[in-house]
Structure 1
Amino acid sequence: MNERERIIAEFDKSRERMRAVVARTDSRQTIYPRWTMKEALDHISGWDDAVILILKALINGVSEDMPSVRGINLYNEETVATRQALSYEHSLREWEASREAMKKLIREVPDEKMTAVFPFPWGGGGNVAEMLAIFYEHEREHAEEIHGILEKGG
């Protein structure tokens, strides 16, 4: 298995874990103090969208002004707020579609750009694999947290 396939497999594993959690919740069920399950999915979709922008910029050799440079908390609030009017079903479809779009782009990043180190819009830096690990681990962490909340009767 090459690096791209390994990364995509990690995204698939984190998504499967999250799907298992989604199947156990009601769309309006409060998961976090201020978020329902729908809003948690909107949050993950928002970060998938950010990764899509970064990957497109890398593929096209351009610099992208990322919304997350204004701060991660502000980005989280905005990405959830912009999806507030969407139905749960629409959010669910978007959550799935954004991941597929991201995986397609992972396959398209030129080899030389996969290993090049670049600054991350939110601070720090690394190569594509290191950046992507942040996001499959991010979804996995949410899945584990929500699983724990559900196990406690939340």
Structure 2
Amino acid sequence: MTSSSTAAPTSLEAAMRRPTVREGQHLIHASRHPRGCLPTAVNARLVKAMLAEDWIYREDMDGYRLEADEALGYRGGTPWRITDRGRWTALTVRQRRLLGELAESRPTPARRDARATALVEAQLAEEVGETLRLTTLGRRLVRDSTQRREADQP
């Protein structure tokens, strides 16, 4: 796997709707939250749109993930959380490319640029000494992206 292939959009990804500016802000907020929670003040129209794209989900009080229609009507007070697809959507192409480089297990020096900082804040990478490495969550996102791309191949 090369970093350019990791960042290259599949026809499925190209067909996916990009988030609006406000949706992107909420997704970035959630990706940086320790438990992946959206802010409490997200309006119902945005929640419904992000839920339809599978960027967010909600659990009941027992921790079971609710179906979209159940989640919209649920009054249990649990927060909306970001999905892996939502996390991937919130990344820029350059951040995806850096994730791909890290996934190749090449020693990558810890960087002080905005994309590396954003990956660390989103809990997708971590600094280990002078090296930047993927977290478990970061590896899962890259793996899922690769699987989507391979499933999209003719």
Question: Highest relative contact order (Cα 8 Å, sep 6+), 1 or 2?
Answer: 1
Q: Does TM-score exceed 0.5, indicating one fold?
A: no
TM (norm. structure 1) is 0.33
Structure 1 or 2: more helix by fraction: 1
Q: Which has the higher strand share?
A: 2
